[in-house]
Amino acid sequence: MPSDVEKWKSEVYGNDILDHLYEFAEEGWESIPGDEHDAWFERFKWWGLYHQRNGQESYFMMRIGTPNGVLKPGQTEVVADIAEEYATGPASNPEFGDSWVDWTTRQSIQLHWIKLEDVPEIFEKLDEVGLSTQQACGDSWRNIVGCPVAGKDKHEHVDALPVAMELHDAFKGNEEHTNLPRKWKVSVTGCREGCGQGDINDLAFEPATKEIDGEDVRGFNVRVGGGLARNEPRLAKNIDVFVTPDRAAEVAGGISALFREHGDREDRYNARIKFLMDEWGPEKFRRVLQEDFVDFELETAGEDLRDEYSYNSGYANGGHSDHVGVHEQKDGNYYVGLNVLVGRMGTDDTAELARVANEYGSGEIRVTQRQNVLITDVPEENLDALLEEDLLEHYSPDPHPFMRGSIACTGTEFCSLSIVETKNRQVRFARWLKENVELPEGVEDFHIHLSGCTASCAQPQIADVSLRGMKTRKDGEAVEALDIGLGGGLGENPQFADWVKQRVPVDEVPGAIENLLANFEERRNGDETFREFVERTDEETLAELVEPEETSYEDPMMHNTKMTWYPYADDDGMDASPAPTDREDKPLPADD
Amino acid sequence: MSVALRTLDDGAWISVNDTREVSVSELWRFPGGNFCSCDLSDVVVEGFVETGVDGRTVEVRAYGQCIACGAKATTDWLPVGRVVDGEFRDVDRESVLCPQVAPAATAAAHR
Ligand code: HEM
Ligand code: SF4
Ligand SMILES: [Zn+2]
């Protein structure tokens, strides 16, 4: 029996949702029939709108897709304006104020507290500068990710940006590919450092060289079936295909069509292509692709560059593990990577970012998969003045390792799936660690990723310290807790973390990290990295080295933040929620 | 009266008549036995597997982990609420839940 979601999709999906969305926006929140909420909220995702969690009815998260993380000149200021005007809710956040922009791990943008009634206006403003929310969520081609400095990187193997943009143009709004069995995440990377993170995407194009007719041709090897969600993380599998940049779209279309035809529509838990890959294996996958979904003879895989990958790798092999800092581009200009702690930037700061980018660079901004932003195209003579800007004090190109290494997802603040508070907590963790814990000598990269649930939006399994939301009892009371994982990282031989210590009450987590680092320092061989140390240590020993402990760190959000209407409201009880509200955030009369 | 029952958000919520009513991450206590070797399992609910109605009782099977012994398993059918006059009412899930002996009558997996 097809799932409810498949039934809803078969009725209305894709571009057709828009007319309905506009009609509901026109007539207001209450015009959505009560017994069609689940169906419409599922469909709205296709247009980038995610209904927020319980207690926040009538408010939406809006995701804007920025292919390859590129915000063209003129776009960032519009995002800031929209956030300022529309992304405000009935309460404020103690760290981030009344409105902000979230830069995400898939190089997109998320805004919160959006009212349905405002959506047409917002879409119009986005459209004017060439931005869109189309397919930002839902069962289709999501935002295409890649190396954020594609086309500018001095050492890149191929410039993958035109390919990412071609895929974006070809598959956004393409009726043949708008209703897939599940989300479809694509990564296109041309650089040597692996910062497109292809391994954790459904479909990955990775830099490679292939000898064809006696000539070395640059292009991509293809991998399929990666993903982190649901306790079932998978690395994408090599399907032994090489493709040239000009044929990448054709092959991508074939693979997407294969997924459309063969993916599981009966069981959403089993629908991602990683499960089809489990069932078929790469050889059968390649055979079916060749026989039924592409019209030309596929090349076998070429020589890859995976042994050079450094991004999120935890190894010190000379490559970057992020894009923070000042780096020369191939045209002699510079890009300046700013650290955005947990990816959240106030709207004023976002407007300021746009101003600074216009003044010193080309006005372009790029978003990375570590929730950071880059100001690109800065001529050398502008660097000093740029580095003097106040904005860069807060969003530093040279941050403390604990600030630099922090990633956190949305969490109970807005997300229905979440078990714990995340972003603000990670800010508190990072500050406490910075003030209280010395990193072992020479350790400049230390990544801590916090996800509120097993969906793994913060990519916890590929960090030095992996944290994910859990619950436990402490002194008999239910409290928020985190599982602690170690050993994850990308690079040539990517590994997912082992969850070595489970259900650590949140107030004991900073102490656990402190003790872990002290134990690492004591046992460290020479200047090995933390990941290298973890790799040569067995799991049982690692579990002993974690040692959760209460410290001077105090957590104000130990209680069940999921049961609040908003964790930071003065009166946070569900009953105090103003939602659902009208366009002006005024409570709507109850309809019984 | 028919009740629209389904799991949403990848198994994170039970929706009853288009309203999210029961969520993962609650701690549920129930007599061990089938779930783990504890007398009283104390399970953090991580995902709903199936939901159904037995008469007026809304029941679920959930995947989770006992925080006392660490065992991971899927529960038997557990009552989580009742539908009275078309409205969902919680049962007290903080006290001990009683597993149903027989499988729910109109159980259906909604995914
Ligand atoms: C209300 C529901 C959800 C919200 C608000 C949400 C939010 C997000 C956000 C914010 C990101 C980017 C992470 C960041 O930078 O903060 C993200 C990425 C991601 N989401 Fe979600 N998400 C939701 C549901 C899901 C579900 C149901 C799944 C899996 C079945 C999922 C899997 C992922 C994964 C795996 C990533 C990032 C990793 C990757 O690049 O593949 N999310 N999501
Ligand atoms: S990891 Fe879970 S809690 Fe965090 S944003 Fe994703 S779905 Fe929500
Ligand atoms: Zn790169």
pLDDT at A591: 57
Confidence band (pLDDT; 50, 70, 90) for A1?
low
Residue A592 sits at the vertex; the CA angle it makes with A586 and B2, to the nearest 5 degrees, is 125
* Both tokens assigned to A132: 């869109």
pLDDT at B101 over 90: no
How large is the average pLDDT for residues A492-503?
A: 93
Domain annotation covers residue B77: yes
Q: Is the CB of A229 under 6 A from ligand 2?
A: no
Confidence band (pLDDT; 50, 70, 90) for B1?
low
Window from A185-199, A377-391, B26-40 with minimum mean pLDDT:
B26-40
Confidence band (pLDDT; 50, 70, 90) for A292?
very high
Q: Can you tell me whether residue A496 is helix, strand or coil?
A: coil
Q: Parallel, antiparallel, or unpaired for β A448-451 and A406-408? A: parallel
Element (H, E) at A287: helix A273-288
Query: How many whole angstroms from its chain centre is CA A115?
Result: 23
Distance (Å, whole) CA A255 – CA A290 = 10
How large is the average pLDDT for residues A280-296?
A: 97
Confidence band (pLDDT; 50, 70, 90) for B100?
low
Round the CA-based radius of gyration of chain A to a whole number and report it.
23
* Both tokens assigned to B11: 């198994």
Distance (Å, whole) CA B84 – CA A392 = 58
Of B8, B20, B67, the CB nearest to A472: B67
Contact A4 B20 (CB under 8 A): no
Contact A269 B11 (CB under 8 A): yes
Task: Dump pLDDT digits (tens) for A396-424.
Answer: 999 999 999 999 999 999 999 999 999 99
Q: Can you tell me whether residue A265 is helix, strand or coil?
A: coil
Q: Is the CB of A361 under 6 A from ligand 2?
A: no
Domain annotation covers residue B93: yes
State phi, psi for A327 to the nearest 5 degrees: -135, 140
pLDDT at A592: 46
Distance (Å, whole) CA A102 – CA A112 = 9
Distance (Å, whole) CA A542 – CA B31 = 34
Query: How many whole angstroms from its chain centre is CA A266?
Result: 27
Chain A residues touching residue B26 (CB < 8 angstroms): 471
Protein residue with its CA nearest to atom 29 in ligand 1: A455
Contact A87/A114 with Cβ under 8 angstroms?
A: yes
Q: Is the CB of A452 under 6 A from ligand 2?
A: yes
* Both tokens assigned to A51: 């209904």
Domain annotation covers residue B91: yes
How large is the average pLDDT for residues A450-466?
A: 95
Contact A36 B24 (CB under 8 A): no
* ipTM for the assembly: 0.84
Domain annotation covers residue B45: yes
Confidence band (pLDDT; 50, 70, 90) for A346?
very high
HSE toward the beta carbon, residue A186, CA cutoff 13 A: 32
Residue B41 at interface with chain A, using a CB cutoff of 8 Å: no
* Nearest chain A residue (CA) to B8: A38
Of B19, B24, B42, the CB nearest to A419: B24
For B42, the domain range is: 5-99
pLDDT at B105 over 50: no
pLDDT at B2 over 70: yes
How large is the average pLDDT for residues A342-370?
A: 98
Domain annotation covers residue B110: no
pLDDT at B107 over 70: no
Window from A6-15, A204-213, B60-69 with minimum mean pLDDT:
A6-15
Q: Of the bound ligands, which one is closest to the alpha carbon of residue A104? A: 1
Q: Can you tell me whether residue A348 is helix, strand or coil?
A: helix
Domain annotation covers residue B90: yes
The reported pTM is 0.94
Q: Is the CB of A495 under 6 A from ligand 2?
A: no
Residue B81 at interface with chain A, using a CB cutoff of 8 Å: no
Q: Can you tell me whether residue A134 is helix, strand or coil?
A: coil
pLDDT at A26: 95
Domain annotation covers residue B48: yes
pLDDT at B103: 45
Residue B88 sits at the vertex; the CA angle it makes with B83 and B92, to the nearest 5 degrees, is 95
Instruction: Check residues A73 and B95 and name the one with the higher pLDDT.
Output: A73
In terms of phi and psi (left: phi > 0; alpha: psi -120 to 50; beta: otherwise), the region of B86 is left
pLDDT at A249 over 70: yes
Protein residue with its CA nearest to atom 6 in ligand 2: A457
Burial of A107 (0-12, 13-18, 19+ CB in 10 A): buried
pLDDT at B32: 78
pLDDT at B110: 38
Contact A160/A205 with Cβ under 8 angstroms?
A: yes
Confidence band (pLDDT; 50, 70, 90) for B109?
very low
Contact A542/A531 with Cβ under 8 angstroms?
A: no
pLDDT at A2 over 90: no
Of A53, A269, A453, the CB nearest to B111: A269
pLDDT at B17 over 70: yes
pLDDT at A267: 86
With a Cβ cut-off of 6 Å, ligand 1 is lined by A 50, 61, 104-106, 110, 185, 200, 228-230, 343, 371, 409-410, 415-417, 455-459; B 10
Distance (Å, whole) CA B76 – CA B101 = 9
Task: Dump pLDDT digits (tens) for A96-129.
Answer: 999 999 999 999 999 999 999 999 999 999 999 9
Chain mean pLDDT for chain A:
95
Q: Which domains does chain A have, with CATH numbers?
A: 150-308 (3.30.413.10), 403-559 (3.30.413.10)
Residue A42 carries which side chain, given as an amino acid letter?
A: E
Residues in a beta bridge with B111: none
Distance (Å, whole) CA B30 – CA B66 = 10
The candidate with the shortest Cα–Cα distance to A421, out of A481, A465, A478, A462, is A481
Omega prior to A580 cis, within 30 of 0 = yes
Chain mean pLDDT for chain B:
84
How many domains does chain B contain in total? 1
Burial of A336 (0-12, 13-18, 19+ CB in 10 A): buried
Domain annotation covers residue B37: yes
Taking each helix axis from N to C terminus, what angle separates A17-27 and A37-44, rounded to the nearest 10 degrees? 120
pLDDT at A569 over 70: yes
